[in-house]
Chain A
Amino acid sequence: MRWVTANPGRRGSLLLGAAPLLVLALAYIIAAAARHADNPADKILPLPGAMASAMAGLLFEPDQLSGQYLFWADTIASLWRLGAGLGIATLSALLVGLALGALPPVRSTLGPLVTGIAVIPPVALLPILFIVFGLGETAKVALIVIGVAPFMIRDVAGHIGALPREQVVKALTLGANSWGVILRVALPQALPRLFEGLRLSLGPAWVFLISAEAIAADVGLGYRIFLVRRYLAMDVIIPYVAWIALLAVVMDLALSRGSRRLFGWAHLGAR
């Protein structure tokens, strides 16, 4: 057996994949235990028990001030913002990207604008968004949209623009008009790419969400992390970060599974 041809198999892959996670968890617990042996009141590396009890308060007890279950309120607020931002970005990527990719006159007209917007660091626009949209939900959703939509638009447009010219000619000889080419040739081939673009945009979208929440919010996962930072509350921050990671992984898996199920043809070569 050579390393480059080794195939660990399904169970082997699972075990191998889990090993680094376990090692990391174990290393953390050893380090935390060592610190607690020196100083039982250590806050930097809380023990799992401390994290559990801190989280239990947020999970199961309503907040005295607002009467909300903070963890769930944070999760719902963040997911709503993320969903709205990614939804708008995806829709605009589909519409604009398709038009840009399939219609050369539209590409000439809007291409430079989209490129121009894409090169602006989105966080630099955050003050403008806060001034224009106020400190409410709109500004946060807008930041996510501005952050990820240009990438997705350019990705879809590039993919559609790179479809073999033969396909368009063939469709025309089959009696299609421009709309027919967009609807039956470009759109179906754009969708799997859109899913892929959305998957790759999840990471940046979370960055923009947490940034916006850190700066101005009164609820949300990012807001909570930056709030409890003031009290050095690692027992809340670490579980929150883990929860964000879990949500992101689930979304990523759901998108890749969904793409495989909906667009099986696009994954035939990669099996």
Chain B
Amino acid sequence: MLSLRNVWVEYGDKVVLERISLEIAEKSFVSIIGPSGAGKSSLLRVILGQEQPTRGRITLDGGLLPTECGPDRGVVFQRYSVFPHLTVLGNTLLGLEFAASPLTARLFGSARRAAVAEAEAMLEQVGLADSRHLYPAQMSGGMQQRLAIAQALIKRPRILLLDEPFGALDPGIRGDMHALITRLWREHGLTIIMVTHDIKEAFGLGTRVLTLDKRRHDPHAPQRYGAGVVYDLELTRKQAEKQAAEAADEALGITIDTKVNN
């Protein structure tokens, strides 16, 4: 679905990413790991459209990726993903309001009621239905990230990009969030690309793990060579589990043994 061909990212002399060629399949959950400064976040920003690759081309569904951030790619950052001046409901509604009225970016009357119902359904899914009138400053970090996910998902993005989304959370909360994102990924058939520092998280959640690192290193000019994909692991077992789960969804009412050999 998303395809990167020989993508390079350079800041002046400094090469951050070189020769990145990737095919990312629909409904996959790609984890990106690698040491600090290996260009994980740069890769995410390029896919997001926040930055432009200096070379190479990126296509989404066969067409060139728009060079600006747009509603086809949702994002959740580690921090600052939600708007402090809006309530939980307001934050979730925002995406619907932008789409509906470019001039006032607000909804009124029955259109608003429909949007509120949709937003509340989305909040229900992330477990924030009872907190709809709180402001982000009144919520914990985990709740804020739940809100950020709901806010992004309401736009039904083709790809959801997560930039160390759970990095700032307590271990216990992180576990809850892992369960939540896995459930949402299955239910909505999302395609997710997640950058993380946590190797366990990368393997636990992803169906595919990419490791970015420098293939070559020149000690006299460390900025000369950029990072590339050094490991690209398909976690096939989880794919199989997922397909089985999907098959079970499709064959509603028919009992299917979803257990896989392992």
Contact = CB atoms under 8 A, between A and B. Distances in A.
A176 B83 contact: no
A175 B104 CA distance: 13
B79 interface: yes
B207 interface: no
B75 A183 contact: no
A92 interface: no
Contacts of A175: 70-71, 95, 98-99, 155
Contacts of A173: 48, 69-71, 73-75, 152, 155, 157
Contacts of B98: 171, 174-177, 180, 184
A269 B139 CA distance: 11
Contact of A169 (B69, B71, B83, B155): B69
Interface string B193-226: 0000000000000000000000000000000000
A166 B80 contact: yes
Chain B interface size range: 35 or more
Interface in B53-87: 68-71, 73-75, 77, 79-86
Interface in B84-103: 84-86, 94-95, 97-99, 102-103
A158 B8 CA distance: 34
B185 interface: no
B105 A180 contact: yes
Given A174-B155, A176-B98, A180-B98, A169 B85 contact: no
Contacts of A269: 137
Interface residues of A, number: 25
B28 interface: no
Does more than half of chain B's interface fall in helix, strand or loop, or is it mixed?
loop
B70 A172 contact: yes
Interface string A169-195: 111111111011001110011000000
A263 B85 contact: yes
Nearest to A185: B83
Nearest to B136: A265
Contacts of B70: 172-173, 175
A268 interface: yes
B68 A172 contact: yes
Interface of A: 164, 166-167, 169-177, 179-180, 183-185, 188-189, 263-266, 268-269
Given A173-B70, A179-B103, A180-B105, 16 more contacts: A169-B48, A170-B75, A170-B80, A170-B82, A170-B148, A171-B83, A173-B48, A175-B70, A175-B71, A176-B98, A179-B102, A179-B105, A183-B105, A184-B94, A189-B83, A268-B135
Interface of B: 48, 50, 68-71, 73-75, 77, 79-86, 94-95, 97-99, 102-105, 135, 137-138, 148, 151-152, 155, 157
16 contacts: A166-B79, A166-B80, A166-B81, A169-B48, A169-B77, A170-B83, A173-B48, A174-B151, A175-B71, A175-B98, A180-B98, A184-B98, A184-B105, A188-B85, A265-B84, A265-B137
